[in-house]
DNA sequence: ATGAAAGCGCTAACAG
DNA sequence: CTGTTAGCGCTTTCAT
């Protein structure tokens, strides 16, 4: 059942049918009603490919994230998908993995689908500061507007929405020092833009509070509870009275470590996670965590995208403040 | 830059270019090489819409799940996406929510995208046993092959891969009774097919072990840690010496409840979760959980889909056994 | 307000 | 092995 059939049945031309489908104002209400009725009766559905061919767009946005099975990204993707649908856009999803070359391939592949815009979820796409590490994104931005969630790249055509990881980390570590903590462990699992921002906040806070920056207190480990616990157990001579982690999983690892060592939380060691995930309330004692308000990030990104797609100017960088969720692993 | 341009530059016809693009065997290696070179030089990418129009397919499969931010579904979607890509298929994702009408709409909408196959993730789509509750799926199955992950519908064109929730539940509850547990609480959060299977396994096990089925020991609650904890706290006069939950979140809620009540786990109460998620290892003590091996389910589904898509016959129902992961909330 | 007709870029049947 | 050509179903001028 195609547009010709409908046109024939309705006794009009295909142009008219097309106009009805697109709700063009220059069709009389009467014909509209007639044609619509015929369409209903025959369960007519316009062929998206044919339409795509003509318009060179299918109202589809590409979403790439390293791994949707990650809690944070899953939440973001869920929100983005739902939100984009309300605007009539479909989502095609690619999970790129974390490897540079895989990310490049994913972007290249998804662009071939003639998406209307590209959404990159996770600061992993922001590169390492070197311009070459984000060249593939700059290239993509020449074809479609690119929206980066939780990362920043300065580049024409890429729009970034990020949570203020630096500030919240600075504030949190400062609060810890003010509460008398002297040896604050920083746990991180990636060299991404946001991880770097967190570390910068951590170091600046120490510096401004006259505490030394000790490299042995900055530990890089996978974001897995048991990995972190065992890593800490394996480090010998490592002493700390507080932990800030760049993800809840790592913070829970620290809690597990404390338990094994017979350290009490928060008395002996304050522990703070990041992302305010379900793990935080699962943890015992419940984990204080930083909420990066990913829904707000996503909402902002979608809003920006809709603006951009309709030709309006959009700011290249929007910063969303984070907030601290106090639970029972901290006492300040 | 389209196929005509390339044809012109290469001094061949568009048919030849098309053949090269599709790697047809009936083009000489020499021309292939020449044409390929031109394509490279000009960064030519075939227009997927035009191709879709002709073939009426874009090598795309639709994935619908109620909510990707759920751990289980996120894991499945991640796996499916990756796996389908290796077969050259793209994924378009819809999160339908849990409401019946929303699910119907999602299926209807996604079918308009002319997907090659439809993947339904989560037993939520299996309906409640009434045929009307799955009519929309049967209808979809008339257009494209439908694959149901972790649910069962008997219907032409829908292929189901499910974990054997009945059996593992039966076995687990039996083990509990053999270990002397008499009052086993069953926690569930949905009326889905798989939840019903779990309950059936639970009840059959009780019956076969000469224990009464007490409806007050079957508690329906949201799959949220604190909701479950508070619900149990609110129930008065409720006594139990074991808990089996249809999801880890609920089981952790039970652990939290036990802690509040000063009950020791597993001595006073054995607790068993489902899905073997990160929550299980986060929990204190670590949670025994049932692993439904969702990756195996997904792999099986994708394999079946590839078979079906290439015209091979496929079984309508495949059952994957679950396995019990013992951790510290059980002592048998 | 409506219709006729020219593409959009590609595939595949047919002809050589 | 290669070229010619007729669609695929829709949008969009350009006429009327």
pLDDT of res. A131: 83
Chain length of chain A: 332
Residue B77 near residue B63 (C-beta atoms within 8 A):
yes
Statement: residue B293 has pLDDT above 80: yes
Give the pLDDT band of residue B57 (cuts 50, 70, 90): confident
pLDDT of res. A194: 94
Q: How far is the CA of A39 from the C1' of D9 (A)?
A: 15
Does B86 contact A at CB distance below 8 Å? Answer: no
Residue B162 near residue B316 (C-beta atoms within 8 A):
no
Question: pLDDT tens across A275-308, in order?
Answer: 999 999 999 999 999 999 999 999 999 999 999 9
By DSSP bridging, strand B184-188 and strand B242-245 are parallel
pLDDT of res. A127: 83
CB contact under 8 A, B114 and A281: no
Does A1 contact B at CB distance below 8 Å? Answer: no
Q: Indicate the pTM of the whole model.
A: 0.95
Interface A–B counts its CB contacts (< 8 A) at: 119
Instruction: Give the residue among A282, A295, A297 at the shortest CA–CA distance from A329.
Output: A282
Over range A85-95, report the average pLDDT: 95
Q: Which residue is nearest to nucleotide D9 (CA to C1')?
A: A50
Q: Which residue is nearest to nucleotide D8 (CA to C1')?
A: B54
Instruction: Identify the closest residue of chain B to A50 by CA–CA distance.
Output: B53
Cβ of A14 near strand D (under 7 Å)? The reply is yes
Pick out the nucleotide with least CA–C1' distance to A28: C1
Indicate the SS3 state at residue A263: coil
Nucleotides of D under 7 A from a protein CB: 1-5, 7-13
> What distance in Å separates the CA atoms of residue A174 and residue A271, rounded to the nearest whole number?
14
CB neighbourhood size of B28 (10 A) = 9
Give the pLDDT band of residue B131 (cuts 50, 70, 90): confident
Torsion angle, alpha carbons of B17, B23, B25, B30, to 10: 60
Q: How far is the CA of B13 from the C1' of C15 (A)?
A: 15
* Mean pLDDT rounded to a whole number for chain B: 95
Indicate the SS3 state at residue A323: strand
Question: pLDDT tens across B160-195, in order?
Answer: 999 999 999 999 999 999 999 999 999 999 999 999
Picking from B68, B82, B91, the nearest residue to A78 by CB comes out as B68
Cβ of B269 near strand D (under 7 Å)? The reply is no
Q: How far apart are the first and last CA of chain A?
A: 68
Handedness of CA A242, A248, A249, A250 (dihedral sign): negative
Statement: residue A178 has pLDDT above 90: yes
Residue A198 near residue A188 (C-beta atoms within 8 A):
yes
Statement: residue A26 has pLDDT above 90: no
The two structure tokens encoding residue B167: 């059996």
Q: How far is the CA of A53 from the C1' of C1 (A)?
A: 27
Statement: residue B129 has pLDDT above 80: no
- Strand A242-245: give its sheet, edge to edge: A218-220, A184-188, A242-245, A270-274, A288-291, A323-325
Instruction: Give the residue among A149, A239, A163 at the shortest CA–CA distance from A198.
Output: A163
Picking from B48, B68, B82, the nearest residue to A112 by CB comes out as B48
CB contact under 8 A, A92 and B92: yes
pLDDT of res. A105: 96
Instruction: Give the residue among A149, A154, A186, A136 at the shortest CA–CA distance from A66.
Output: A149
Question: pLDDT tens across A127-137, in order?
Answer: 877 888 999 99
Does A268 contact B at CB distance below 8 Å? Answer: no
Segment among A95-99, A287-291, B52-56, B120-124 with least mean pLDDT: B52-56
Give the pLDDT band of residue A260 (cuts 50, 70, 90): very high
Cβ of B144 near strand D (under 7 Å)? The reply is no
Residue A304 near residue A262 (C-beta atoms within 8 A):
no
Chain length of chain B: 332
Cβ of A55 near strand D (under 7 Å)? The reply is yes
Question: pLDDT tens across B69-101, in order?
Answer: 999 999 999 999 999 999 999 999 999 999 999
Nucleotides of C under 7 A from a protein CB: 1-5, 7-13
> What distance in Å separates the CA atoms of residue A125 and residue A121, rounded to the nearest whole number?
8
Distance (Å) from the C-alpha of residue A282 to the closest C-alpha of chain B? 6
Statement: residue B26 has pLDDT above 90: no
Instruction: Identify the closest residue of chain B to A66 by CA–CA distance.
Output: B78
pLDDT of res. A129: 75
Give the pLDDT band of residue A54 (cuts 50, 70, 90): confident
8-state DSSP, A25: T
pLDDT of res. A128: 79
Cβ of B13 near strand D (under 7 Å)? The reply is yes
Does B226 contact A at CB distance below 8 Å? Answer: yes
> What distance in Å separates the CA atoms of residue A67 and residue A93, rounded to the nearest whole number?
10
Statement: residue A81 has pLDDT above 80: yes
């Amino acid at each position: 059942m195609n547009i010709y059939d409908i046109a024939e049945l309705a006794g009009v031309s295909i142009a008219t049918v097309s106009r009805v489908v697109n709700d063009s104002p220059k069709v009389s209400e009467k014909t509209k009603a007639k044609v619509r009725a015929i369409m209903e009766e025959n369960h007519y559905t316009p062929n998206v490919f044919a339409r795509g061919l003509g318009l060179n767009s299918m109202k589809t946005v590409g979403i790439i994230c390293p791994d949707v099975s990650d809690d944070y990204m899953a939440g973001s993707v869920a929100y983005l998908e739902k939100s984009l649908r309300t605007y009539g856009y479909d989502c095609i999803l690619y999970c790129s993995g974390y490897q540079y070359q895989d990310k490049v391939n994913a972007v290249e592949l998804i662009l071939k689908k003639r998406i209307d815009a590209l959404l990159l979820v996770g600061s992993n796409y922001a590169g390492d500061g070197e311009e070459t590490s984000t060249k593939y994104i700059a290239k993509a931005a020449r074809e479609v507007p690119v929206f980066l969630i939780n990362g920043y790249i300065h580049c024409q055509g890429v729009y970034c929405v990020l949570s203020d990881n630096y500030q919240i980390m600075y504030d949190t570590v400062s609060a810890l020092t003010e509460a008398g903590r002297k040896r604050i462990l920083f746990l991180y699992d990636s060299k991404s833009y946001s991880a770097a921002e967190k570390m910068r906040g951590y170091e600046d806070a120490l510096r401004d509070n006259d505490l030394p920056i000790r490299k042995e207190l900055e530990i890089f480990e996978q974001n897995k509870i048991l990995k972190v616990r065992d890593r800490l157990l394996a480090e010998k001579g490592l002493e700390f009275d507080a932990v800030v982690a760049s993800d809840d999983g790592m913070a829970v690892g620290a809690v597990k470590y404390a338990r094994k060592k017979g350290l009490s939380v928060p008395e002996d060691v304050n522990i703070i996670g990041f992302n305010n995930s379900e793990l935080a309330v699962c943890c015992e004692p419940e984990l204080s965590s930083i909420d990066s308000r990913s829904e707000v990030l996503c909402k902002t990104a979608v809003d920006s995208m809709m603006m951009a797609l309709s030709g309006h100017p959009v700011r290249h960088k929007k910063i969303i403040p984070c907030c601290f969720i106090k639970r029972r692993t901290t006492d300040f």
